């Protein structure tokens, strides 16, 4: 049902209206979950199980900004699952940060462990699709993945569409229901990742629900401000030392999220994110033509 709604959304809603709809959806989602749970709690967990990626998309900060590489240990991942089980987590869990999760050989086992421990959660794997094969799709779905969200970037389409199309060819309908496919290009409103990447149509914000909806854990266990904080400039604790829910309830973190929900952008990263401003001078890539969409600037 959800996949049908998403497919309809991608087909029917023009790119310029998606940011507004997303903002409405985020507010409804946060306040709905708060009402249900009786407390301010994340409804999504994004965990950086690996850091590597095989692409250099212009819309992503990873190829312009150096960051330590590594894998989350299985012990730390197990600890995170324990902490989520303890609070009866039923939200979305995704092995994602600025990475390609399919590069991690452990992915099916990690997803299977999450499904076994969190039977009511929604497991979504974000991927650029380049490493998908029929077998891997079937393996991940069998492991308990609800949705494979495949995003391909106009600059990579030539290289990536082939493997993806081959992988999904003749897949049974029941498996296809687990796949959501989209392409992203200059016509789409995108985030500057807190001012790190110039994008043609930067998303701006009058308030931020993102930090209140998602708990983001990096491969070392640090709990970050949000998914835009690529350089981990603001961390609030480490799940190796404290439970995620304890970290979430820390007064300084709670206060900051409340301010953000009310449109107060105190941190520099948030000011840039809200205004769509980019920290560094626009690089040459940002104005080079996008080969997949002639006449439009690339990113």
Ligand X SMILES: C[S@@+](CC[C@H](N)C(=O)[O-])C[C@H]1O[C@@H](n2cnc3c(N)ncnc32)[C@H](O)[C@@H]1O
Residues that bind ligand X (CB under 6 A): 53, 59-60, 96, 98-100, 126-128, 149, 151, 184, 190-191, 193, 197, 199
Nearer to ligand X, 13 or 85 (CB): 13
**Cβ at position 157, least distance to ligand SF4 in Å:** 13
**Binding site partner of 96, from ligand X, ligand SF4, none, Cβ cut-off 5-8 A by kind:** ligand X
**Binding site partner of 93, from ligand X, ligand SF4, none, Cβ cut-off 5-8 A by kind:** none
Q: Is 110 an interacting residue with respect to ligand SF4 (CB under 6 A)?
A: no
Report in angstroms the alpha-carbon separations of 98 from 5, 49, 65, 84.
Answer: 26, 11, 11, 22
**Cβ at position 149, least distance to ligand SF4 in Å:** 11
**Binding site partner of 80, from ligand X, ligand SF4, none, Cβ cut-off 5-8 A by kind:** none
**Binding site partner of 111, from ligand SF4, ligand X, none, Cβ cut-off 5-8 A by kind:** none
**Binding site partner of 199, from ligand X, ligand SF4, none, Cβ cut-off 5-8 A by kind:** ligand X
Distance CA 133, CA 130 (A): 9
| Cα 72 to chain centroid, rounded | 17
Site string for ligand SF4, 203-222 (x = CB under 6 A): --x--x-xx-----------
136 φ/ψ angles, rounded to the nearest 5 degrees: -70, -35
Tokens of 227: 């998914």
Query: Of 196, 229, 195, whose CA–CA distance to 211 is shortest?
Result: 229
294 φ/ψ angles, rounded to the nearest 5 degrees: -50, 145
| Region near ligand SF4 per CB under 6 A, out of 19-27, 29-37, 78-86, 98-106 | 98-106
Say how many residues make up the chain.
299
Nearer to ligand X, 36 or 182 (CB): 182
Q: How many CB atoms lie within 10 A of CB 20?
A: 11
**Cβ at position 97, least distance to ligand X in Å:** 7
| Cβ pair 127, 96 in contact under 8 A | no
Distance CA 145, CA 111 (A): 7
Site string for ligand SF4, 171-210 (x = CB under 6 A): -----------------------x----------x--x-x
Query: Of 217, 212, 213, 214, whose CA–CA distance to 47 is shortest?
Result: 217
| Cβ pair 228, 211 in contact under 8 A | no
Site string for ligand SF4, 229-258 (x = CB under 6 A): ------------------------------
Q: Is 60 an interacting residue with respect to ligand SF4 (CB under 6 A)?
A: yes
**Cβ at position 138, least distance to ligand X in Å:** 20
How many chain residues are in contact with ligand SF4, going by CB under 6 A?
Answer: 24
DSSP class of residue 93 equals E
**Sequence-separated (6 or more) residues with CB below 8 Å from residue 15:** 187, 188, 189, 201
| Cβ pair 202, 34 in contact under 8 A | no
| Region near ligand SF4 per CB under 6 A, out of 16-24, 52-60, 70-78, 276-284 | 52-60
Tokens of 142: 């069998």
Nearer to ligand X, 83 or 147 (CB): 147
Nearer to ligand X, 99 or 212 (CB): 99
């Amino acid at each position: 049902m959800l996949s049908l709604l998403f497919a309809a959304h991608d087909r029917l809603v023009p790119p310029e209206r998606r940011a507004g709809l997303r903002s409405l959806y985020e507010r409804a989602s946060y306040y709905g979950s708060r009402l249900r749970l009786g407390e301010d709690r994340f409804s999504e967990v994004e965990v950086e199980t690996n850091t590597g990626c095989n692409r250099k998309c212009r819309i992503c900060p990873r190829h312009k900004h150096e960051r330590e590489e590594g894998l989350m240990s299985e012990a730390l991942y197990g600890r995170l699952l324990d902490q989520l089980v303890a609070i009866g987590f039923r939200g979305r869990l995704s092995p994602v940060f600025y990475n390609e999760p399919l590069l991690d050989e452990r992915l099916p086992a990690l997803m299977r462990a999450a499904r076994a421990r969190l039977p009511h959660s929604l497991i979504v794997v974000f991927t650029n699709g380049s490493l998908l094969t029929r077998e891997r799709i079937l393996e991940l779905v069998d492991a308990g993945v609800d949705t494979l969200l495949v995003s391909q970037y106009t600059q990579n389409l030539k290289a990536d569409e082939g493997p993806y199309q081959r992988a999904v060819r003749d897949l049974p309908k029941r498996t296809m229901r687990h796949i959501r496919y989209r392409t992203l290009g200059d016509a789409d409103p995108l985030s500057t990742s807190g001012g790190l990447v110039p994008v043609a149509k930067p998303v701006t914000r009058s308030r931020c629900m993102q930090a209140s909806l998602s708990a983001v854990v990096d491969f070392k266990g640090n709990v970050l401000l949000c998914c835009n904080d690529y350089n981990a400039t603001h961390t609030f604790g480490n799940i190796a030392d404290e439970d995620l829910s304890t970290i979430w309830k820390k007064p300084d973190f709670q206060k900051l999220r409340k301010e953000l929900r009310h449109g107060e952008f105190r941190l520099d990263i948030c000011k840039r994110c809200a205004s769509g401003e980019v920290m560094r001078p626009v690089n040459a890539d940002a104005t080079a033509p996008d080969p997949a969409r002639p006449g439009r600037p690339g990113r």
